[in-house]
Amino acid sequence: MHIRLFSLTSAVLFSLLQLQCGGQQQAVTTPPDQTAGITQDLPPTETPVGELILALLDTTAAGPAAADERLGLQTGPHVRAFYGASPQPVWTQPNDSLSAEAKAVLALLGEARAYGLQPEYYATNQLVALRDSLRLPAASGPQQRARLDVLLSDAVLRFMLDLHRGRLRTYVASPREKASGQIFQPADVLRESLTAGKVADGVLACQPRNREYRQLQQALEQWLSTPAPPDSAAQFQARYEQVALNLERWRQEAISDSEYLLINLPAYRLDVVRGDSVVRQHRVIVGQPKTPSPTLSSTIDHFTLAPDWHVPRSIATKEILPILKKDVGYLARNNFALYDEGGRLLSPYQVDWQQVTAKSFAYTIRQSAGCDNALGNIVFRFKNPYSVYLHDTPVRQAFTYPMRALSHGCMRLQNPMQLAAYLLARGGQFRKLPTEEECARQSKPEHVRLAKSIPLHVRYFTCATENGQLRFYADIYQRDKALRRALAVVARES
């Protein structure tokens, strides 16, 4: 009995040494000098695949990093969480074939391009070679099965993480996930989907669920089903990469709200989204490339009618100060008032503007409500660290321009009173909004709080969908190139 146990232990160690050296595996036999005459009549024993998986994932001797590097694992901690303390083969079967679930996920990895990813990210060629090696007469059986099982788990878990949070960002649970207790654990998701017999569905369920991502992914899949003409293969590849970049952006900045305002800066457009429908659209003017509008998420809970404009210091010193050095009357003609640091009203004629520099500028400039107010008749305010807002504008002909990156960073909205009426109505507030003439005559700003606030998301996407078709936009802030470079670095390292 003791000699038989020694024989099994020796077989495990011998098998692991062969696995780690990457050599061809041979059938394991017990040393004849230690078993002669004792185990001769016992049937041959084979090391259980589960024991080999446990040994492959063992980190006792070398530590997690070294163990993962030896095996080429990208998601070592998740793989170990998936198998647990008593691993059993998941994807392979005793007859050296793949399970139906393994065939399904291997096919899914081969279709990674439909999700803006690449099959080579998941070592699909290596996995297919390992699968095929199981059919060879010289295959080592349990050793090859163990290695294939572990590497396929690693590939699937990496694919799930990439679908869920993108390739560039280490997954960190959001405050909302922590508060709800629904922290993404790919090993748990994979195990549950295997138990339910719906592994492919479980893997794909890791993707963002907002309509924009789903529609973009579906449009890409449809687009890929049509072969590119030979004379346009380069353009086809460039367009594919552009879609892939934007799917990556969505995975990094997914939206979980069911109703929200979405501003896509390169599209110069605001969408009011409810469920799977866009119920309103407004044209938008966004920041110039030198003063870009930021991407952000916030909430609109009020707006201001007949607003006055507190001129940002950057605009006051860079744009208005040079004008005042030549023409002091500029402030009065444009309905601006000048205040000192204590908030006291000053006459601009009392200041020696020739001696004032941008560094010594100690004033505040405010523009009162009126037809020429830079904010127009209404401004939607929301918390953000950039001091930007969404507002009306007196220069409305600019909404007809095809290129509308024209502002200092704030976003100007076409037909803003219509948006205000919609936001009031969705909260059960029905009130008549003032006309432009009434706003111009209004002496003080009026703040209107919404009974039902609405999330606002400002994003940067150079590709989206319209009526199920891909729509491409100019990269107005030149951000695609940097993202493409970052993804290329990750691809080389993986």
Separation of alpha carbons 17 and 178, rounded Å: 43
pLDDT band at residue 27 under the 50/70/90 scheme: very low
pTM of the model as a whole: 0.83
pLDDT band at residue 439 under the 50/70/90 scheme: confident
Work out the average pLDDT over 44-53. Answer: 76
Give residues with Cβ within 8 angstroms of 430, minimum separation 6.
424
Separation of alpha carbons 198 and 36, rounded Å: 50
What is the 8-class DSSP label of residue 408? S
Q: pLDDT per residue over 201-216, tens digit each?
A: 999 999 999 999 999 9
Q: Which of 37, 41, 43 is nearest to 8 (CA)?
A: 43
Contact yes or no for 406/285 (Cβ under 8 A): yes
Separation of alpha carbons 119 and 122, rounded Å: 6
Sign of CA dihedral 168, 174, 178, 181: negative
Tell me the DSSP string of 258-297: SEEEEEEGGGTEEEEEETTEEEEEEEEEEE-TTSPPPPEE
pLDDT band at residue 170 under the 50/70/90 scheme: low
For the ranges 95-99, 288-292, 297-301, the lowest mean pLDDT is seen at 95-99
Give residues with Cβ within 8 angstroms of 56, minimum separation 6.
16, 19, 71, 146, 147, 150
Strand-pair category, 277-287 with 469-472: unpaired
Domain ranges of the chain: 48-203, 208-253+466-493, 259-308+370-461, 310-367
Residues pairing with 296 in the sheet: 458
Most confident of 31-45, 151-165, 356-370: 151-165
Please, how many CA atoms are within 13 Å of residue 63, restricted to the half-sphere of its CB? 2
Q: pLDDT per residue over 219-274, tens digit each?
A: 999 999 987 777 788 899 999 999 999 999 999 999 999 999 999 999 999 999 99
What is the 8-class DSSP label of residue 351? S
pLDDT band at residue 9 under the 50/70/90 scheme: very low
Query: Which SS3 state, helix, strand or coil, does residue 2 take?
Result: helix
Separation of alpha carbons 326 and 438, rounded Å: 34
Q: pLDDT per residue over 61-85, tens digit each?
A: 788 888 899 889 999 999 999 999 9
Tell me what percent of the residues of the chain surpass a pLDDT of 70. 86
Q: pLDDT per residue over 108-153, tens digit each?
A: 999 999 999 999 999 999 999 988 888 776 656 788 889 999 999 9
| pLDDT value for 322 | 93
Sign of CA dihedral 255, 261, 263, 269: positive
Average pLDDT, the chain: 86
| pLDDT value for 138 | 60
Give residues with Cβ within 8 angstroms of 468, minimum separation 6.
215, 218, 219, 222
| pLDDT value for 149 | 95
Separation of alpha carbons 222 and 334, rounded Å: 54
CATH code for the structural domain at 259-308+370-461: 2.40.440.10
Residue 446 tokens read as: 């009026």
